[in-house]
Amino acid sequence: MALSTLKLAFKVFLRRKFFTFISLFGISVTLVVLMVAAAMLEHVFGPLPPETKLDRSLGIAYAATTGEHWNRNGFPGYKFLSTLPGTIPEAERITIYSTPQTAVSYVEGRRVSSFLKRTDAEFWRVLDFRFVEGGPFTDDDARNASPVAVINETTRKRFFGGPPALGKTLEVDGQRFRVVGVVPDVPLLRIVPFADVWVPISTTKTDSYKSELVGDFMATILARSPKDLPRIRAAVDERVAAVEVPKPYTTFFSAAESKIDTFARLLFDSYDPKPPGYRVRLLLAGFALLFMLLPTLNLVNVNVSRILERAPEIGVRKAFGASSRALVAQFVAENVILCLVGGVVGFLGSLAALSAIERSGLIPYARFPFNVRVFLWGLGLTVFFGLFSGVYPAWRMSRLHPVDALSRRSR
């Protein structure tokens, strides 16, 4: 019975190529877009190396000073962040680091642009970098402004042609640094660890950064346990409230937040003390619902048209004794098979799309591993919507009287 149903389904698909193509196209494109979106979200927010401790981490990546006539907002300044280390008992470690800044070098007459990040030594303890050569710079290096650097593998290739790079010197942003470590490339969208070259904060050319409340720095606070995160948030809020704000500003705002809350705050430029991540979650949920609803409606319309076209076939089968249950089972089986075939096409399309994005270089050092869990969820939803979109029209048509079905008239 199952084999005959399968054979009949494929004969129907081949006989009605247009409907088959439309259905497969809608299913596969939906899965491809879903997989690419999920890969992007995982790429930005997921616990991927070197950010493997996100479950007990909070970031400080937004600050604002406001006054009656003047406002300034952006990333936090070093002046505020430097007051945090050693003052929050629930924090296991606190690292302060700059945002990635473009730096220009000249290598054998070639102009090379790199992203330079200045960090403290705690940066290498909070994040789980894998070193392919050497190791991180030390507390003494950071304290003594030692001209040392950690570079990524791409920078090693650009400056030195490949390994080894340890102990060699490179010039970045007009300064010379000795390479003490090499790490794998980190994708651009992982803004916390991302850079081409990492050097101590103390090697900054001027000390003006030390007086800024809003500037070009960020911090990550690693809690001793996930249950300590609320207390860390409260402790940071207390220190924000105690900041002396220089004129003409009257208030200062910053907060310790999760990655999605920080993204939402930067996106909406929000001073609201309440974590704004729920806005992004609602936005993503709305887009996901709308995105899944559109192909569902398309499947319903296609299925109705496909089944109406087969009204004479239904009439003949009913005239020869086919039951309504058997007819519904046939149409539902066809829908499920179609969805599964579309899933295979979507799987191949997802692999091709993710690979193309990686190779394009649009997102430096991007890596998009195929997320099997998300794919299975997407395929499951597609099969569900396929069932949903096929059962009702199949049931309606299966209840037609053979004479009405043969004359293509519905009651």
CA distances from 366 to 114, 183, 213, 312 (A): 16, 15, 32, 54
- Residue 250: its pLDDT value, please? 92
Separation of alpha carbons 119 and 109, rounded Å: 29
173 is written with which tokens? 């942003």
What is the rounded average pLDDT for all residues in the chain? 83
- Residue 410: its pLDDT value, please? 43
Separation of alpha carbons 190 and 214, rounded Å: 22
End-to-end CA distance of the chain: 31
Of 165, 131, 150, 126, nearest to 199 by C-alpha is 150
Of 71, 68, 63, 58, nearest to 213 by C-alpha is 63
- Residue 219: its pLDDT value, please? 97
324 is written with which tokens? 């309504």
Convert 138-162 to b/e letters by CB count within 10 Å (16 or more is b): eeebbeeebebbbbbbebbebbbee
218 is written with which tokens? 């960020």
* Residue located via tokens 């494109």: 29
Task: Decide if 20 contacts 13 (C-beta within 8 A).
Answer: yes
Q: Is 243 exposed, middle or buried (0-12, 13-18, 19+ CB in 10 A)?
A: middle
* Residue located via tokens 């053979």: 402
- Residue 206: its pLDDT value, please? 92
Of 212, 185, 189, nearest to 198 by C-alpha is 185
Q: Parallel, antiparallel, or unpaired for β 214-215 and 71-76?
A: antiparallel
Separation of alpha carbons 65 and 76, rounded Å: 10
Give the pTM: 0.79
What are the tens digits of pLDDT across the range 132-143?
999 999 999 999
CA distances from 141 to 122, 182, 201, 299 (A): 12, 16, 10, 63
* Residue located via tokens 């597609």: 382
What are the tens digits of pLDDT across the range 346-371?
888 888 888 888 888 777 888 777 66
Three-state secondary-structure class, residue 215: strand
- Residue 411: its pLDDT value, please? 42
In this prediction, the residues of the chain whose per-residue pLDDT falls under 70 are 1-16, 19, 269-280, 288, 291-311, 314, 317-320, 322, 324, 370-371, 374-375, 378, 381-382, 385-386, 388-394, 396-411
* Residue located via tokens 């087969």: 310
